[in-house]
Every structure is written in C-alpha cells, then in structure tokens.
Amino acid sequence: MKKILSTAMLIALLMPGGLCAGDIASQYYDLREKEIRKFSADLFAAGEYYRAITEARRYLSLFPTGQRSEAMAKSIGDAYLMSHEWAEAVAAYDEFFTRFPASTLAGTATFYKAIALLKQGATAEAERLFQLTLSGAESEKKGEAARWEILLLIRANRFDEAEKMLKDRLLRPDIEKEAGRIEELLKAKKGVVYKSPETAGALSALLPGAGQFYNERYRDGVYSFLLNTLFILAAYKAYESDNYGLGAILTLFEIGWYTGGIYGAVGGAHKVNRNLDEDHFRTGIRRLNLRESEIGRFGGVSVVFTYPF
C-alpha cells in the first residue's frame, strides 16, 4: 500500500511537468525562431549580407514551415541584390518561387528579380517580369514596375507602346504622379538625333578621319588622317625609289590604318548612339524616382537599395 501511495505521489508530482513540457518546447521553438529571424534582420540592416544569408538559410533549415519562412527565403534574394550579386539574386528568387509558389510576397520578389535581370543585361526577361508584376493581383511595387517598364520602352525607342501604357486607365493611378515627367521624357527622347554608322563609315572610306569628325571625335579624326597620309606618302616614296619590300610593309600597315579607321568610325557612331540612349535612360531613372527602392522589410527592417545604373 505504501508503495502504491508513493508511486501515485510521484506521478502526481511529475504530471504538471509532463503537461507543461509541450508548452515549454513550443515557447523555446518560438523564441529560437524569433531570435534567428531578428539576428538575420539585424545583420541585413548592418550591411552584413553574407551573414544575413547564412542566418536566413539556418532559419529555413530549422523551421521549414515557420511563420516567416517565406519572408526569410525572399530575404536571401534581397541580400544578394543588396550585394549586387545579380546572378545569385536571380537564383535565390527562383528558389523562393519554387518553394512558395502562392506566396503573397511573390509580386515584390518578381519585381526585384526583374531588377537583377536588368542589371545582368537580360532586358527582355526583365521587361516580361515587370509586366507580370503589373498584371499581378496585388503588389506594392506596381507603380515602380510601371515606371521601369515605360522607361525601358522609351530606351528602346518604342514610343507607341510607351504612350499606350501611359494612357492605360488601369495603370494610370499608379503613375499619375509621374505622368507629366514621363511625357517630358518621351518628348525629349523623340527629339534625339542619332549618328548614322553607315554615313560615318562612308565618310571615313572617302577621306580617312572624316567619319570620326562626323562622330565629333576630332582628335581621333586628326590622328586617323595624319597616319593614313603619312603611310600613303611613305609607301609611295618607297615604291618610287624601287624599295618594294619596304613599300609592301608600309602598304600592309596603311591597309590596317585605313580599314581600322572605317571600323572605328562605324563603331564610334554606335557608341555615340549608345551613350545618348544611356544618358536619357539615366535621366529617366532620376526623374521618375527610380534610383532607390525600399528593400528587405522582413523583421521590421527597411533598407534602401540604390540602382547604380
């Protein structure tokens, strides 16, 4: 009887502990989850992006179905984006989409993936993703995506499409504030006068250096003209004095200067046009307030990401 009593007493003593064990474990789980999430966010805010990525991965490994696992998975892409590691950012966002296809953060992640692609030079794919962000049900980045999309259309001189987007009634509320500026940008880009690579090449073929003058690269033009003149004269003199070996070498060099000059004139015109497009693009980024974007809102952190275009 005594034994039964002492066993019952022991069970009665241990029971509350057993009942609380689940609660304690759950509390510890919550605490640990919050701790890692906060630490990752702190690292992110401090600019320790690689460490933040490690902590985010730790979170995903320990709490794959945690409350903030979506935000943590997205934060990996954000951290790579902040580090300007575009390819890694794209891969991290892809991983996020695979893991959480129906996430509420998908719109924002799509937008940032588009930015990473744009930086990588994959403009067509970035454009597609901006459109996807715009057609999505909900995204705080809709306005920004619309401005990027219009700016890309202006850069590619697709004015009709840009004007159509500007007049789109569904998009209008998102770009209402910048509509005037967009119109100004459109007008300015329409008025750009490009250099013709064909004209530059033809001019250099007719008179070495003339194509460079057309491209407003005057010093290059002078050098090209002088080099061609000197080598033609030297080759002529060499042939005149029956020095055919030297004449042949000088002729070879002259062919080089001549063809190189034509190539340079054509390439120079392309470079002028590229620089004009890029200058207008950069002005557009500045005027449409696209230089910076808030990123990494997980864990209450807000960091400004700048686009170094």
273 binds another protein (CB under 8 A): yes
Nearer to another protein, 83 or 289 (CB): 83
Query: Is there a contact between 15 and 277 (Cβ–Cβ < 8 Å)?
Result: no
Figure out which of the listed residues 38, 57, 155, 287 binds another protein, where binding follows CB under 8 A.
155
- 263 is a site residue for another protein (CB under 8 A): yes
CB of 247 to another protein, least distance (A): 18
CB 203 within 8 A of CB 264: no
Q: Tell me the chain's radius of gyration from C-alpha atoms.
A: 32
Contact between 230 and another protein by CB under 8 A: the answer reads: no
Beta pairing partners, 304: 294
Nearest to 75 by CA among 36, 124, 102: 36
Joined tokens for residue 144: 């920004």
Nearer to another protein, 89 or 171 (CB): 89
Provide the mask over 32-71, with x wherever binding to another protein is found by CB under 8 A and - wherever it is not: ---------------xxxxx--------------------
Identify which of residues 181 and 270 has a Cβ nearer to another protein in the complex: 270
Q: How far apart are CA 96 and CA 57, in angstroms?
A: 12
| Stretch binding another protein (CB under 8 A), from 26-34, 55-63, 98-106, 274-282 | 274-282
Nearer to another protein, 38 or 51 (CB): 51
Residue closer to another protein by CB (options 75, 139) is 75
* Site residues for another protein per CB under 8 A: 47-51, 79, 82-85, 121-124, 155-157, 192-197, 212, 217-220, 222-224, 227, 256-257, 259-261, 263-264, 266-268, 270-271, 273-277
